[in-house]
A and B are shown apart, each in its own frame.
Chain A
Amino acid sequence: MRAGPAKDTMSGLIVPVAILLAWQALAWRAATPLFPGPWQVALSIWKLYPVIIGQIGYTLMRALLGFAVAGILMIPLGILLGRLKTIGRLVEPMMDMLATLPPPAVVPIVMLFAGTGDIAKIVIIAYAAAVPLIMNTYEASKGLHPMANQVARSLRLSRFETMLHVDLPASLPMIATGMRLAIASALLVSVTSEMLLATNGIGVFIQRQQENFQIAGGLAAIAFISVIGLIINSLVFQLEKRWLFWHYRSSGTH
């Protein structure tokens, strides 16, 4: 089936080009600035990229901070809960309940306590990132093989040492999955929170573009978000492969 990489790339281009052409054709037919085609969007990207990059900086910064807060709090908590079985079982349904509460629904409450500034947004992002992190960490730490525990005991590790040297590394593959979900939702909620609590950032930029009927400009900003999301995703994937190679090697996937 292999027909050389060059031919593969060529045939791989057919679908994206077809989609772009169809979009452009629809835009021509609509013939209104409210329905721009890919060409207008490309022009807007060229015109607006300094502003967009500046605004996206705020967005990414807050997403990163929120994610860091969630990671620092939730990974140890998840491992601890996995150890304390009784409390863990009691807390589990609460986590399920929180998991089903969409992060934007938290916005009005956070607004009451923390206003509309950076802190409020970081709290919302941290909440959004916390849910997948704690669920995956807890799930992994709960399901650890009892043998690992016995090894730790025979090495006379203290409870804390066991958590640090046994539970944490053993849970890392699932924590990594949780992190990937958490990063995606941190980015997503960062944009959403800006749109609801407008100050600055790419979310606000998109709203301003819309208010001025600059749909192409808004789509240009969306294009930037999507490219950055893509870059972050592949970066996370690379890091995961490098740090968790032992897991992939032993389980035989990839």
Chain B
Amino acid sequence: MSAGRFDPLGALHRLNVLVSFLVVLAVWQLVAISGFVPAKYFPDIPAIASAFWSMLTSGELPGAELRTLTRALTGLAAASILGIGLATLSDLSPVFRRGFAPVAALIQPIPPAALVPMAVFMLGLGPRLYAFIIVLVTVWPPYFNGVAALAGVPGEQIRSGQMMALGRWQMLWQIKLPAALPEIFAGVRYASTISLIAVVVAEMLAGHDGLGFLLIRKAFAIRIPEVYALMFVCALNGILMNGLIGLLRWQLTGWHMRMTEQPA
């Protein structure tokens, strides 16, 4: 977290992103030209750019990109809602909390890749497969953070609510959830990274369509510049997703960020 919005280095930092991107490109180009690594395996920047352009204009990339992003975003939304819902339920019912915690601890370490082959048989190759995989691996960060945050709501806030004679639901809706939201969002942010990874893995293994499938197909066709271009696209997707979550977070918990990030 960058400290403070009045940081005089802030503008410089933003420039840093550009500078560092240019440095990466320059170093890359130098390595490629130096012939240190065979050009076949390590194409130079123009080759990668033209591969990117040709995939873009042929409509291959936009289609795959759209599919992958849609899957990741809908999966993330569904998993976040489910995760927050489960956390809320855990907060309301101790029986559910005690029972669900071990289930979560058992399912959480399962790699998405291991689930794909089984799920293909149980659910087919359609949207249900992706929904299942993404939700099953993405639901945990919002859930764990939600449980911790709801349990950690300061006692003064709860007592103020009781003083105003709020009912159980009002208490949840008006006091506990808003107080827990910043921590829940940290979980959602982490989940967004996982959801992208899960989608790409599922597409690589289910081998049907999307960015992951395109990546594998190009790799097996030994179209190296295309593979590098797709890797850049994957990294960009992550940045895009982070930006989206950041925007949403500012909308929903801006009060909290303003409070903590600006030293008085």
What are the interface flags for B105-123 relative to A under an 8 Å C-beta threshold, 1 for contact and 0 otherwise? 1111111111111101110
Given contacts A91-B20, A112-B41, 7 further A-B contacts (CB under 8 A): A34-B121, A98-B235, A99-B193, A102-B201, A103-B197, A107-B219, A108-B215
B129 proximity list for chain A (CB < 8 A): none
Binding site for A on B (CB under 8 A): 13, 16-17, 19-21, 23-24, 41, 94-96, 98-100, 102-103, 105-118, 120-122, 193, 196-197, 200-201, 204-205, 212, 215-216, 218-219, 224, 227-228, 230-231, 234-239, 241-242
- Out of A104, A108, A210, A227, which one reaches B106, CB within 8 Å? A227
Contact A101 B110 (CB under 8 A): no
Binding site for B on A (CB under 8 A): 1, 8, 11-16, 18-19, 34-35, 89-94, 96-109, 111-113, 184, 187-189, 191-192, 195-196, 202-203, 206-207, 209-210, 213, 215, 218-219, 221-222, 225-230, 232-233
Contact B230 A105 (CB under 8 A): yes
A207 proximity list for chain B (CB < 8 A): 117
Contact B109 A226 (CB under 8 A): yes
Give Cα A11 to B236, complex, Å. Answer: 47
Minimum CB–CB distance from B225 to chain A (whole Å) comes to 12
Given contacts A93-B17, A96-B239, A229-B110, contact A102 B197 (CB under 8 A): yes
Contact A94 B205 (CB under 8 A): no
Contact A105 B234 (CB under 8 A): yes
B118 proximity list for chain A (CB < 8 A): 206, 210, 215, 218-219, 222
Closest to B235 in A: A101
Contact B231 A101 (CB under 8 A): yes
B98 proximity list for chain A (CB < 8 A): 8, 11-12, 15
Given contacts A191-B113, A192-B111, A226-B110, contact A92 B205 (CB under 8 A): no
